[in-house]
Amino acid sequence: MTRETSGPSAMETLLSTLDLEPIEVDIFRGRSPQAGWQRVFGGQVIGQALMAAQRTIEGERFVHSLHAYFMRPGDPSVPIIYQAERIRDGSSFNTRRVVAIQHGKAIFTLSASFQVEEPGFDHQIAMPEVEMPEALLGEQQIKDQYLTHAPEAIRKYWQRERPIEIRPVSLTHYFSDKKLDPKQDVWVRATGPVPDDRLYQAAVLAYLSDMTLLDTSLYAHGTSIFDQSLQVASLDHSMWFHRPCKLDDWLLYTQDSPSASSARGLTRGSLFTRSGALIASVAQEGLIRKKANE
């Protein structure tokens, strides 16, 4: 992918965003890239909060799960303060709680658990059989072939440089109002080098885990997150880290939405390496409602 500017790449900007500024013991300041968004991307807050929690952990202990709630939209024009609380330091596990604060109010909370790595039983589900990313249209091809007559919201989404490249196995959802099975497979990869550092790898993985997920709950209804008549937002997010991964190649993000009701949609996701190793599992519930004036 060619870049039009000589400034930092999107991945360099993301890594800088995740590199929180310590301002007191267990208190950190995070900033948002000025990308024109009206609110902070949820994956950014998850990644920053996880980084805050990780920076309170001593020794070779790594995150194995996190559970988070979004309470208010983040304001990208001002910093986010992350307050980490050391809930427990045990012989094998550590527990942390992080609250993200803006304008004097909590906008997000995260609880995370860390573990000393140890041997144990090992099994996983199989990766679904899908086309490899090289057989699919790349982002530039999608722009060239599909975006000319696409709605403005879709054009803006695909034309903005991002730290994570997305290569959907199927593009039907973006350009059709056909009701589809509530599942999708998306190849994702970092658009630049990710440090060989487990803390950054986990935070980047948490960041990308929020991408495309909520949209899957709308497949069965013939619409998407780009529908201007909808109010959509992440409500909660859970993630389990099964195996370490250097993020230097494509990952398959396979997703399904088992239920939508009461203006909420639930989506589950599994992240696989190209070779089929399951590295993480994700679950998210999101708000999906028609706006009151529609």
Closest residue by Cα to residue 277 from 65, 66, 125: 125
For this structure, is 34 an active site residue?
no
Write out the two tokens for 179: 């009701």
| Dist CA 190 CA 97 (whole Å) | 28
230-241 vs 278-290, strand pairing mode: antiparallel
Residues 223/179, Cβ–Cβ less than 8 Å: no
Catalytic residue selected from 102, 209, 270, 284: 284
Catalytic residue selected from 48, 209, 234, 255: 234
Catalytic residue selected from 48, 113, 210, 281: 210
For this structure, is 210 an active site residue?
yes
Q: How many CA atoms lie within 13 A of 11 on its CB side?
A: 17
Residue 144 phi, psi dihedral angles, 5° rounding: -70, -35
68-97 as b/e: b if 16+ CB within 10 A: bebeeebebeebbbbbbeeeeeeeeebebe
| Dist CA 69 CA 99 (whole Å) | 10
| Dist CA 46 CA 29 (whole Å) | 14
Write out the two tokens for 198: 């487990």
For this structure, is 141 an active site residue?
no
Which residues are tagged catalytic? 210, 234, 284
